[in-house]
Amino acid sequence: MKSLINQIKEAVVFIGFINNGHEQIMGTGFLVQIDDIFHLVTAKHVIEKNWQQLHVFLNTKQLKQPYAKPLSIIYNDGYSWIRHPDPKVDIAMLPFIKGIDDQVLFIPNDLISRSMNEIHELVDVFYASFQPGLNSFKNDGCVNPIVRKGVISRVNNDDTFYIDGSAFPGNSGSPVFLFPTPVKISETGISIGGPTKIALLGVMGAYLPYQDVAISQQTGKPRVIFEENTGLSLIWSTKFIDQIIQSNDFRNQMSVIKNKIPKAVEGNQNANSVT
């Protein structure tokens, strides 16, 4: 388990900007492989502001330190973020060309869940994220996401679900995985023989807020609104990733990549994936 978790952490990157020589992390992302081309996946709202200046923060092999890779390298090749056809879906994907010195892994297809059958209440999950107040390239010396556990709290009727796991600024776009457990809860009760394999279940969107209104004792009118983090986070299931992959925009861009720059495929084939 320790080795697999470390590999998953190497498939996680941070996304943000460089301001006056300092990193400003906006969110988390992760890498997947689709038809020999690797893609960066994150929450759409992470990349909607000043996307032209975005960097992806990852580790390096030789330099042994984090590197801020400008995504303009990919934009300049004519490639762009592909959003879900439904603008309400908070997921975006971008082709990722791996550099020789990039110390990253990729989540392979066989670790990506293709159904909602594994998603139901009280299922254990974990996620790997940038954590504000903890992650610091100066102190860590590397991209070192925090791994946290949660539990599925509610499955919604639109292929999203909530987890009892707090999200904070910078967590958006984190991969959420099924956590193997020897116990499962079924219609007949508790039994031995829960899920034995880690699987990518979805992409973290944002936390669910709760608003508490302070009422003036003198006027009886609202004076102050306090917004609290409920500790619940909205997760977009991997079904939405599949729908992006099947979209015309995604397919057209994939055709361009394979026909225009075959070396992109050749270079990525030498990359390693989470095993």
The CATH code of the domain at 2-269 is 2.40.10.120
Each residue's pLDDT, cut to its tens digit, for the chain (275 residues) gives 668 888 999 999 999 998 887 889 999 999 999 888 899 999 999 999 888 999 999 998 876 778 899 999 999 989 999 999 999 999 999 999 888 888 899 998 888 888 888 898 889 999 999 988 888 777 888 899 999 999 999 999 999 999 998 888 899 999 999 998 766 666 666 666 556 688 999 999 988 877 676 676 677 677 667 667 788 999 999 999 999 999 999 999 999 888 876 554 444 545 677 76
Measure the CA–CA gap between 176 and 235, rounded to whole angstroms: 8
Alpha helices in the chain (DSSP H): 2-10, 44-47, 72-75, 137-140, 239-245, 248-260, 262-269
Enumerate the domain spans of the chain.
Answer: 2-269
* C-beta of residue 274 within 8 angstroms of C-beta of residue 105: yes
Residue type, 193: G
Confidence (pLDDT) at 267: 46
Confidence at residue 214, expressed as pLDDT on a 0 to 100 scale: 65
Q: Kindly state the DSSP code that residue 44 receives in the 8-state scheme.
A: H
**Res 36: pLDDT:** 83
- Extract the tokens encoding 196: 């034995």
Quick one: pLDDT at residue 190? 65
